[in-house]
Chains A and B, each alone.
Chain A
Amino acid sequence: MADTGVAETLLRRLEKADDGVDSVEVSGSLGVDHQLVVGAVKSLQALGDIISAELRSSKHWELTGEGKEIAEQGSHEARVFSSVPAEGLAQTELMKLAFGKVGFSKAMSNKWIRVDKAHEGGPRIFKAVCIESIEDQVREKLLLVQKGQASQLEEKEKNELKKRKLLSEVTVKSYWITKGDSFSTTITKQETELTPEMIASGSWKEKKFKPYNFEAMGVAPDCGHLHPLMKVRTQFRQIFLEMGFTEMPTNNFIESSFWNFDSLFQPQQHPARDQHDTFFLSDPALAHQFPQDYLERVRKVHSEGGYGSQGYKYDWKIEEAQKNILRTHTTAVSARMLYKLAQQKFTPVRYFSIDRVFRNETLDATHLAEFHQIEGVVADYGLTLGDLMGVLHQFFTKLGITKLRFKPAYNPYTEPSMEVFSYHEGLKKWVEVGNSGVFRPEMLLPMGLPEDVSVIAWGLSLERPTMIKYGINNIRELVGHKVNLQMVYDSPICRLDS
């Protein structure tokens, strides 16, 4: 290998040098291209601490192509001078020479030649009468530069030559090479990788291995990725399961208004039941099957009251209840589950669900027409508001949120209703993290649940904690087809409590 030769020569020179050697000087004295020396330096550096090299840059003057020609053959004006014979030369002839034009004017200004314009047969050039020989200063200066003695010239002279494009100033990068801690003049070739053959023969014991660059990144594994929102969903499922909550079947995006609103004691004129807030269906527009006796009890509690309630005192219409919608909350499923529970002998239950809900709302950076609702429900004898707050405390502790406080709120189907706030250490303020409450008797008793059974429930969105967890500001980058797949590829595992 050619560069091994250079490298070895370099090491021998370095051994003899007192302090160090310059790579340009080495290349000059060896008569090889400087790049070869640089290559040798690099490969020696890769072997460890054999040498150390410091990058330096210096400026020096070099002849241009034209400059080299002049150094060899003389300046244009000198060549013009020597081209003119004693009998003179027609100006047209002189101009035919390569150096004619430039040389002529310079030689004229140096007064080395004269022109006889009146000569018969056109203007003719003669050597100046008094001059026998000339001193070609330009050539001499260039020769000095060529010999590396540019410092003998004045700055002004160098600039003058630079202007004539005979000289150029170049920056040279070189290495100042000194001995390293483990300096040695012999180098053994290093292996890049361990091979099966080396393992079989045991030859790895004698070999030296090229050090790895631990600064570089590894190769990304070829793998698939789970969506961050779904990773967070998995964790919330896990938390509910750890807390003994059974998952509700929420795979029914289409609900009747009856289960979505009426069964929850939400009056038929409630704004949430507006065209502006809820998606209604045109096909199939109506649900056609309800538990008739339960429906009748719901009608009665809305329009007339009962179960200790005044009711809303309005004309409850089946037509309104029949309207199919895209469910606005998973609480519609909770209502179905509680109704089902009421048809059996009562036992305490804990239910949860995490699934899509739909709102016909104005969209912005944090709101979409569909999102995931997380919901927890506990039904038992004699549950208190303190129990609701206790369960919420346990639930949020599992999310890593321990500082909670509760604000009275309004919700048509829970009483009391509480908004859950947690103290945000970053924002230094209380932020709403969920909604909760105790289902109203007007909702539970018509279902047929025992009077002393209370049902507590809470809900929150899946998107908000996910956006906070993964630092996403625009919900469209997270959910829907405009998702940023790079974000999906790069997102870490989800541990909600850390």
Chain B
Amino acid sequence: MPTVSVKRDLLFQALGRTYTDEEFDELCFEFGLELDEITSEKEIISREQGDSKASGASEVILYKIDVPANRYDLLCLEGLVRGLQVFRNKIEAPRYRRVSPASGELQRLVITKETEAVRPHAVAAVLRNITFTQDRYDSFIELQEKLHQNICRKRSLVAIGTHDLDTISGPFTYTAKPPGDICFKPLNQTKEYTATQLMSLYKTDSHLRHYLHIIEDKPVYPIIYDSNGIVLSMPPIINGDHSKISLKTKNVFIECTATDLTKSLLWLKSEMKFSVAVFPAGKDCIGHDGDHELAYRKEQLSSDFINRKVGISESTDRIAQLLTRMCLRSQPTGACDNIEVEIPPTRPDVIHACDIMEDAAMAYGFNNITRTTPRAYTIANQFPLNKLTELLRQDLAAAGFTEALNFALCSQEDIADKLGKKISETRAVHISNPKTAEFQVARTTLLPGLLKTVAANRKMPLPMKLFEISDVVLKDETKDVGVRNSRRLCAIYYNKSPGFEVIHGLLDRTMQLLEVKPGQGDGYHIQASDDCTFFPGRCAEIIVHGKSVGRLGVLHPDVINRFELTMPCSALEIDIEPFL
């Protein structure tokens, strides 16, 4: 969830009244926002870098507000204020439209074929006759950064560049060139670099180095020129220094390049709304060849639909009013209970009637809706495997064993080397992107978890008797995903003597609980077996109804050592699914 940080007093000024923190929190809550933190720049620096660094920092109170991930239109002070003011019925939602420049001449951005190899889409817009103040300028830059981090997926999908239009002249060209052929003075540098040099320069830049991978390995890099060959930007990495915007900038040229056209348009719409909201003086927009409009879309739905889905019964007029308060300008059509709803370009998240319905419910107030109970009669059933698990757990605890709960993910070493096995002998599934060795594979046996639990609890009195009933994960070609879970029961006895008879006794008790009698054929029996996890001659296979369901035995001293244990230990592990 993105967080927007706004100055409290500026916010209240824009809202036309002040609130107590609690009142503002309440307003946010109703509107689907969360007042996450009340802080100041000074407090933030002091917390992150210590009090000494914080002296002199601003003590202006900041509100940090969590905004839902789909509301790109609320990612700045101006957007928030607009949304809240419309919600509070204080202003009408502004209407955005494309305006042609006074001269009538549109700017053009030409996209060449070469870009297909790296970043094939681009759109552009112009904001004219604007006035920056320091706060507006900061908000403008901040919004661009928020968009980069969220919808633009850290610039990998979309990258945005803003330029002082009066320092450059169109038409502009978006092309792609080998890095050695690109040479310009990048933002805030004093000399020219080739693109190859830039990439190594930014390797150590704490901010930019995160974006280098997006184009690093491509044969050509994207680049935007003006008609005089001045470099505007090398997206998605850096702008040129020449066209940088400042507080004095009056006309802004915005370009955004993308790997996905829908997203880039979405971005442009969000940005436009912002600019218009801040700079009502005037605005122009140009597109590339296709001339994308700031499109408003109309949808029709019935008030009955909304009433039925939300569980309210409001008049058609009232529902139209509710929607209008959510920046969705609506009016009854007059035909039956139909409402015509206008979806502004700033609300790309509205893609279905259910999105409109939600806005109506929000404006009505979720907490004003009467809570009702679904009337259908249903009979509950337990999942048989879980039912068996629940019953067995109770009785294993009654048999003196304590329940452990271990992770389903572990290292290869845990399920192979430490147990004296080869990883290739297991049917383990492998994780491709583990951050640490603890998450290399899904466990194929519960035993390592129990041994690690004992190792972490060596201060506890002996004997330690532990069990776990849970799932392991095994490759299985017959399943759609090629894998299945297997429900296991594992128990260990850790003491000064191996206690095979204790673990054997637990097996007998478990079989008694599962109504399996001792004996060959229809019953259960154990027979000597070889397994490198166990001490030679101290391991047996558990045969139930003629089929092996698991093993028990005294652990091999090497296994005990590898789990950093010192005492003899016996263990039992069986598959409980055959007992369903």
Contact = CB atoms under 8 A, between A and B. Distances in A.
B407 interface: yes
Contacts of B430: 281-283
Interface stretch (A10-18, A124-132, A152-160, A410-418): A410-418
Given A288-B482, A326-B442, A394-B373, A407 B34 contact: yes
Contacts of A442: 352
A256 B480 contact: yes
Contact of A407 (B29, B394, B455, B484): B29
Given A407-B34, A482-B456, A224 B465 contact: yes
Contacts of A350: 376, 378, 380
B152 to A, nearest CB: 11
B358 A386 contact: no
B353 interface: yes
B403 A227 contact: yes
Contacts of B386: 237, 247
A382 B308 contact: yes
B483 A284 contact: yes
B32 interface: yes
A245 B70 CA distance: 32
Given A324-B482, A380-B376, A441 B431 contact: no
A395 to B, nearest CB: 11
Size band of the interface chain A makes with B: 35 or more
B351 A246 contact: no
A256 B479 CA distance: 11
Contacts of A382: 308
Contact of B432 (A244, A285, A387): A285
A251 B408 CA distance: 12
B277 to A, nearest CB: 21
Nearest to B387: A247
B260 interface: yes
A465 B361 CA distance: 29
B452 A481 contact: yes
B366 A406 contact: yes
A479 B405 contact: yes
A385 B379 contact: no
B113 interface: no
Nearest to B32: A408
Interface in A283-329: 283-290, 305, 307-314, 324, 326
Contacts of A421: 29
Contacts of B455: 481
B433 interface: yes
B457 A223 contact: no
Instruction: Indicate the member of A284, A356, A368, A438 with the most B CB atoms within 10 Å.
Output: A284
A230 B409 contact: no
Contact of A311 (B351, B362, B406, B473): B351
A489 B394 CA distance: 15
Interface residues of B, number: 95
A87 interface: no
Contacts of A450: none
B290 to A, nearest CB: 15
A165 B433 CA distance: 79
A12 to B, nearest CB: 49
B338 interface: no
A310 B262 contact: no
A288 B406 CA distance: 30
B433 A279 contact: yes
A441 B404 contact: no
A387 B311 contact: yes
A480 B407 contact: yes
Contacts of A308: 352-353
Given A246-B381, A281-B430, A406-B367, A384 B397 contact: no
A198 to B, nearest CB: 33
A476 to B, nearest CB: 10
Contact of A312 (B153, B262, B396): B262
Contacts of B308: 382, 384
Contact of A489 (B378, B381, B402, B407): B402
Contacts of B34: 407
Interface in B433-477: 433-435, 438-439, 442, 449, 452-453, 455-457, 460, 464-465, 467, 471, 473, 475
Of all A-B residue pairs in the complex, the 9 with the closest CB atoms, nearest first, are A384-B311, A386-B311, A408-B32, A410-B68, A348-B376, A481-B452, A282-B432, A284-B482, A416-B358
14 contacts: A224-B396, A244-B379, A251-B385, A256-B481, A288-B480, A324-B481, A369-B407, A384-B310, A385-B309, A385-B310, A407-B29, A417-B358, A440-B354, A441-B352
Interface of A: 222-227, 229-230, 234, 237, 240-241, 243-256, 269, 271, 275, 279-290, 305, 307-314, 324, 326, 348-350, 356, 358, 360, 368-370, 378, 380, 382-387, 389-391, 393-394, 405-410, 412, 415-418, 421, 430, 438, 440-442, 454, 479-486, 488-489
Interface of B: 29-32, 34, 68-71, 153, 157, 260, 262-263, 308-312, 349, 351-355, 357-358, 361-362, 366-367, 369-374, 376-383, 385-386, 390, 393-394, 396-409, 429-435, 438-439, 442, 449, 452-453, 455-457, 460, 464-465, 467, 471, 473, 475, 479-485, 487
